[in-house]
Structure 1
Amino acid sequence: MSAPATHEGPQVLFRKARVTRHDEKVFLAKLVLAAALTAVAGYLALQPHPVTAVLGMLLLGAMYTHMVELQHQCLHHSAFRSPRAHRLAGVPLGLPLLVSYSHYRVRHLQHHRYLGTPQDSEFFGFDTRAPLRWKLLLRGLLDYPRVALVLKDVARSFSGRWSYDMGQIAERRRREIMAEYRLLGVLVASLAAVCLAGHPDLVLRLWLLPLLVAVPLHFLVELPEHILCETETTDVLRNTRSIRGSALSTWFTNGNNLHVEHHAAMVVPINRLRERHAEAEHFAVHVEHSYAAFFRTVAATARRNGKQAKARKEREDHR
């Protein structure tokens, strides 16, 4: 993280702020809205009319993605005034996408600490330092093999053999992570039991098919954070991207579009990041007006890198 501002730099971008009663109410309102939309989506997904059912499953997938972004705020303890409340809310928010809150939190806080260094490693394993190619994007977009990795962690947790592979963590934290993976295992087993009881359609419509939507959608939400930014500097004004976005995209991503602002002061409640965006626009290197502009840049870069790689291969073949 770059140094706090002088009179010539940002004045509020790096300023810390505690969670207030109002911030807590805002986050609780987000939870209520997410629960309501998920209930509506589930109802629609179970309807006999195909178009209605598909719309419901698409909305469910979108809400499962949105829940992980709400979970992200809980990771930083910037949603509630009570630290304990964050895990109570964060664990269920990650269940549909099979995300362990405590495991995600440990890895994600390390990401904040080591961003711009070789030690950086995000929980969701897309490597933003690799050359941007269509193949790499497709692999990240269709990261369904992550489910197999989760199931492996579930098995290791039930046997007590789970261990953290990115450094040292407290034994208490390890026990919390194993407990959450066991919970995920119970959830998966329960879904399998529902199928065996003769109701596979419920699992298909309410989880499996929405999951197929949620995985790539989550990837698209997370992709802008650091891709095509400077990867060998710890200055958040150069290694992170913000997108102004609309009110809808800011709500859906839970402020993930304001990522420079978030990395500059990660404990600031998400709902208060917008007031810092003017400084991010002025001082940060990578700021986009919209997601559409960002994805156009990504597509152009992947296309150019693909052509260059093809040209290099042709030159090598002619030698």
Structure 2
Amino acid sequence: MTSTTTARVAASERIFQRSRVAGRDQAAFIGKLCLVAVLLGAGTALVLTGKLPAQAAGALLLGVVYTHMVELQHQCLHHSAFVRVGLHRPVGLLLGLPMLVSYSHYRIRHLQHHRNLGTDQDTEFFGFDTRQPLTARVLLRGMFDYPRLGTVAAESYHSWRGTWQYGNGQVSERIRRDSMAEYRVMGALVLAAVAASIAGYGGLVLQLWVLPLLLVAAPLHFLVELPEHIKCDNDTTDVLRNTRSITGSWFSTWLTNGNNLHVEHHAAMTVPINRLRERHSAVRECAKFVEHSYWTFYRAVLREVLVNSTRPHGARADTRG
């Protein structure tokens, strides 16, 4: 075995190495939660100034934070945020509320995604098909996936009736019960927002939640999720080929909560997010799809969209790299 081959084997082993949550990992996550609280307060304060530029900045900041909160919820799904496992669900529930994402429903669907990645059974919670040709219409539909909110309303309705069922296989009664409880909370939150609007606070509901959710968080979340597997080798279960990592900047790493290091995450999904950067040099050496920045990825996507827009229907480019 050559020295180069030996080094690649060692790098690959480092990528897949498992580790448990330690006190320093929990402290790092709590620090992220504290920053979220500060940013939510800052966004709210800007909206409450009553001045249009400040209100717009506040709504934008809130939308960005709502997106970040779902990425923090994602870490809770994998039980890699807290030393005590029982903390993940209540914290994860709160983190998902602004974007109306059920922790328990998302968790079981997302773990199935990890298990089935690279097979025909792979489906993600947010439902974007990474195998379809990239067109402007497809991207816009994904960015402004408002029909998902109708799905959430239906899930909440069935949960209040006690008839909610998981639609992608069998789940335990505990998961079903937990999912229904979370959809009921979301339904109650929406009803409270409606009641506040009727009571004369509709402007605040619009600026603090509705507009940040619809105009910022929904499209931004799609753009965060898009690079993970699209234009990769979707016909293999090898995470070094079916998943993409992006080196990224400090801001993109913060915003996505390390989701840019996606090969690292799929290779060892219970490793705390704050430790994934340690494995990135090994991923750059071994993985097939590694980008320097999100901009380089999005430029490649836009190029393909432009190519597909000039091709006859049915002759569009494959989304694999």
What's the TM-score, normalizing by structure 2? 0.94
Check conservation: 1:261, 1:276, Cα contact below 8 A. yes
How far does the alpha carbon of each residue in 1:175-230 deviate from its partner, in whole angstroms, 9 at most, with x for none?
Answer: 00000000001100000010111111110111011112110010001000001001
Structure 1, unaligned runs of 5 or more: 314-319
Which residue number in structure 2 is paired with residue 316 of structure 1? none
2:294 equivalent to 1:280: no
2:319 equivalent to 1:309: no
Alignment counterpart, residue 62 of structure 1, candidates 58, 61, 64 = 64
Q: Secondary structure at the match of 1:242?
A: strand
Alignment counterpart, residue 183 of structure 2, candidates 163, 173, 181 = 181
Check conservation: 1:60, 1:206, Cα contact below 8 A. yes
How far does the alpha carbon of each residue in 1:279-300 deviate from its partner, in whole angstroms, 9 at most, with x for none?
Answer: 1101101000001100000101
Structure 2 counterpart of 1:240, one-letter code? T
Which residue number in structure 1 is paired with residue 253 of structure 2? 250
Alignment counterpart, residue 195 of structure 2, candidates 193, 196, 199 = 193
Structure 1 residue 46, shift from structure 2 partner: 2.0
Structure 2 counterpart of 1:104, one-letter code? Y
Which residue number in structure 2 is paired with residue 295 of structure 1? 298
Which residue number in structure 1 is paired with residue 35 of structure 2? 33
2:272 equivalent to 1:269: yes
Alignment counterpart, residue 233 of structure 1, candidates 226, 232, 236 = 236
Which residue number in structure 2 is paired with residue 154 of structure 1? 156
2:91 equivalent to 1:89: yes
Structure 1 residue 310, shift from structure 2 partner: 5.2
Structure 2 counterpart of 1:192, one-letter code? V
Query: Please, what is the CA RMSD of the aligned residues?
Result: 1.4
How far does the alpha carbon of each residue in 1:204-262 deviate from its partner, in whole angstroms, 9 at most, with x for none?
Answer: 11101111211001000100000100111000000000000011110111001000000
Which residue number in structure 2 is paired with residue 143 of structure 1? 145
Q: Secondary structure at the match of 1:79?
A: coil
Structure 2 counterpart of 1:211, one-letter code? L
How far does the alpha carbon of each residue in 1:85-118 deviate from its partner, in whole angstroms, 9 at most, with x for none?
Answer: 0001100000000000000000000000000000
Structure 1 residue 133, shift from structure 2 partner: 1.5
Check conservation: 1:157, 1:179, Cα contact below 8 A. yes
Query: Percent of counterpart pairs with the same letter?
Result: 57
Check conservation: 2:8, 2:286, Cα contact below 8 A. no
Which residue number in structure 2 is paired with residue 170 of structure 1? 172
Q: Secondary structure at the match of 1:248?
A: helix
| Cα separation, 2, equivalents of 1:202 and 1:278 | 46
Which residue number in structure 1 is paired with residue 217 of structure 2? 214
- The answer to which of 301-310 and 281-290 deviates more is 301-310
Q: Secondary structure at the match of 2:197?
A: helix
How far does the alpha carbon of each residue in 1:103-153 deviate from its partner, in whole angstroms, 9 at most, with x for none?
Answer: 000000000000000000000011001111111111001101111100000
Structure 2 counterpart of 1:25, one-letter code? A
Structure 1 residue 9, shift from structure 2 partner: 5.4
Structure 1 residue 306, shift from structure 2 partner: 2.1
Check conservation: 1:18, 1:268, Cα contact below 8 A. yes
Alignment counterpart, residue 73 of structure 1, candidates 67, 75, 97 = 75
Equivalent residues, number: 309
Check conservation: 1:46, 1:205, Cα contact below 8 A. no
Alignment counterpart, residue 118 of structure 1, candidates 99, 117, 120 = 120
Structure 2 counterpart of 1:122, one-letter code? E
What's the TM-score, normalizing by structure 1? 0.95
How far does the alpha carbon of each residue in 1:18-66 deviate from its partner, in whole angstroms, 9 at most, with x for none?
Answer: 0000000000000000111011101101221100100000000000000
